[in-house]
Structure 1
Amino acid sequence: MKELRLGIIQLATEIGQVDKNFETLMEKVRAVAKQGADVVVLPETWNTGFMTGPELHALADESGQRAQALLGELAQSEHVNIFGGSVAVKEGDTIYNRTYVYNRKGELLSTYDKMHGFSPAKENEYFTGGNSIHNFTLDGVLCSSATCYDIRFPELIRKSALQGIELFFLPAQWPLLRLHHWQILNQARAIENQMFFCSVNGCGTIGKLPMAGHSMVVDPWGEVLLECDETPQTHIVTIDLDIVDHIRSKINVFRDRKPNCY
C-alpha cells in the first residue's frame, strides 16, 4: 500500500501583513509536521495575501528569497515535504504568483508560476503569468500543481495528468460567493483525470470579500475525503495511491482518448 499523509493548512492570511503571515505560517507548519504529515500543503499568496495594485512592488518577496529560506529550513528541520502554496515574488519590475516545492532534506524540487491571472480582479495586470507546467516527486509519488483560477482551464491540468500524475495540488484564494463552483470543479478535475486532487484555500476576508475556505481532498472517484468549513484550521488526511492505478486500469480514459478528433 502506497500511502501519503497530507497536512492541510487553511489560513486567514492578513493582507499586507507580511511579517505576521510568516510567523503564523511557521507556527502552523511545525505543528502539522509534528502530527505526522508527509506533505504540508499551503494556500495561495500566503506572504502578502491576495492583493493587486502598486503596493505589491513594496511587499512582494525579492526573488522569493525570504519564502525559500523559511520553507527550506522548515522542510529540513521538521523532515517533511512542503508544497509551498504560492507567494508574491518580485523579479526586477516583474511580479509572479509563484509556487515552491521542497523535499524532506530542504532541497528545492520545483517551481511554478501561476499561468492564468484572474482578470475580473485585474490579477493579470499586476502579475506576469507563467508558461509551463511542472512535475515533481514527493516520497515516490508523481505530483503536479496549478493555482486557483487555473482550475477553470482543464487543458492545463490534463496536460499534467497525461504524464502520469497521481496527486495534484491547487493552492487558492477562492471567494465564498463562488463556493459551488469551487466544490464542483475540484471533484470534476479529480474524476476526469483519475487522480487525487488536494486544494488548499484561504479563509477570512480580502477587504470586505469573504473567502470560501472549504479546502478539499478528493479521490480519483470524486469522493470527498476532506472538506473544511470557512475558518482557519489544520487537518491530516491519509490517501492510498494504489487506487489510482486500479481506477485507470478499470476505466482507461487515457487509452480511449481520440486527440486526433479534438
Structure 2
Amino acid sequence: MRLGLAQMDVIWEEPLSNMDKCQYFINLATNNKVELILFPEMVLTGFTMNIEKLILSEKDIINWFKDKAIENKINIGFGYAIRVGAKGNNKFAIISKEGILLTNYSKIHPFSYGGEDEKYYRGEEICFCNIESKIITPFICYDLRFPEIFQIASKTSKFIAVAANWPKSRQDHWLTLLKARAIENQCFIAGVNRIGIGDKIEYGGASVIINPQGEVLNEISSKEELIITEIDFNLVDEIRDSFSLKKDRRENLYKKEYEKSFIN
C-alpha cells in the first residue's frame, strides 16, 4: 500500500481554511498515486477546547471528505471534532475511494491533563476497517499511552494509525511510544501529527511510519509536507511467523492479576 501522511500546519479554529489545506494535500497525494492519505487529529480546528467553535455538523464534514475521496479515487482518514449537546466528540473517520464511510472512531482516552475529558465524551469501542483486504485500526493521540488497546487491535489489524496533536515538548515520548507499539504488536504503526502553533502550543510534526521491527521508514521532519511510503503487509506475517511473540502472551494470567489488583 502506498501511504501518505499529511503533516499539516492546522489553522487555529478555522475549519473552512483548513478544508482548503486538506484539498491541497489530497490533490498532492492523488498526483503521487497515494492509495490512503491520513490527516492529523482535529484537522479542521486544531485541538480546541472551545466547543462552541465546532460549527460544522458531522454530516457536513463526512460528506465533504466523501466527495473528495470519490473525485480523487483515494482513501482518506481524518480527525475531526463535532459538538453533541453540551460536549464534543473527538473522532477519526476513514472513507473509501468509493465514498463509503468505513469506520468512525471516537477517542477512547480524552486527554485529562489538558482538560479534554471535561469537554469531550469518551469513546467506548475499538474500530476496524478493511481497505482491499487490509485491516486497519485508528487511534487518536493520548490513546498511544495505553498499550492494552493496541494489543487488542493488533490481533486483527496489521496496521494501526495514530492521529495526533502532540506537542513538540513531548516529542521524545511520541517517537518512543510509537516504536514500542510497533515492536510489541509486530505491526505497522503510522503516527501523523500536525505542525505549527495552536492556542500557544508548538507542534513539531515528527510524523512517522514504523515497520513491525521498530524501524522508521521515512525522514523525520518538522515542516509542512506530505510524507509518502510504501508499506508491505506481508512483512507482518513474516515477522510474526519467525518470532511468535503473540503466541507467548498469557492473557488469562494478565486478566486474573489485573482483577486481583482491584480486590487488594
Q: TM range, normalised to the smaller chain?
A: over 0.9
Q: Secondary structure at the match of 1:224?
A: coil
How far off its partner does 1:155 sit?
0.4
Q: Aligned match of 2:29 in 32, 37, 58?
A: 32
Could you list the runs of 5+ residues in structure 1 that have no partner in the other structure? none
Q: Number of matched residues?
A: 254
Does the 8 A contact of 1:215 with 1:227 survive in 2? Answer: no
Q: Does 2:226 align with 1:234?
A: yes
Counterparts of 2:201 and 2:74, CA distance in 1 = 33
Does the 8 A contact of 2:13 with 2:53 survive in 1? Answer: no
Counterparts of 1:257 and 1:121, CA distance in 2 = 34
- Show the counterpart of 1:70: 64
Question: After TM superposition, where is structure 1 displaced by more than 6 Å over at least 4 residues in a row?
Answer: none
Counterparts of 1:34 and 1:117, CA distance in 2 = 36
Report matched runs for 1:118-133 at 5 Å.
118-133=111-126
What amino acid maps onto 1:45 in structure 2? M
What amino acid maps onto 2:206 in structure 1? H
- Show the counterpart of 1:61: 56
What amino acid maps onto 2:224 in structure 1? P
Q: Does 2:105 align with 1:91?
A: no
Q: Aligned match of 1:160 in 147, 153, 163?
A: 153
How far off its partner does 1:189 sit?
0.3
- Show the counterpart of 1:146: 139
Counterparts of 1:140 and 1:50, CA distance in 2 = 33
- Show the counterpart of 1:257: 249
Could you list the runs of 5+ residues in structure 2 that have no partner in the other structure? 255-264
- Show the counterpart of 1:169: 161
Does the 8 A contact of 1:117 with 1:127 survive in 2? Answer: yes
CA-atom RMSD in angstroms: 1.2
Mean Cα deviation higher: 248-257 or 216-225? 248-257
Q: Percent of aligned pairs with the same residue?
A: 29
How far off its partner does 1:60 sit?
4.3
What amino acid maps onto 2:209 in structure 1? V
Does the 8 A contact of 2:103 with 2:128 survive in 1? Answer: yes
Does the 8 A contact of 1:34 with 1:78 survive in 2? Answer: no
Q: Aligned match of 2:177 in 185, 188, 196?
A: 185
Counterparts of 1:119 and 1:91, CA distance in 2 = 19
Relative to the length of structure 2, the TM-score reads: 0.93
Counterparts of 2:219 and 2:165, CA distance in 1 = 15
Relative to the length of structure 1, the TM-score reads: 0.94
- Show the counterpart of 1:8: 5
Q: Aligned match of 2:127 in 121, 134, 138?
A: 134
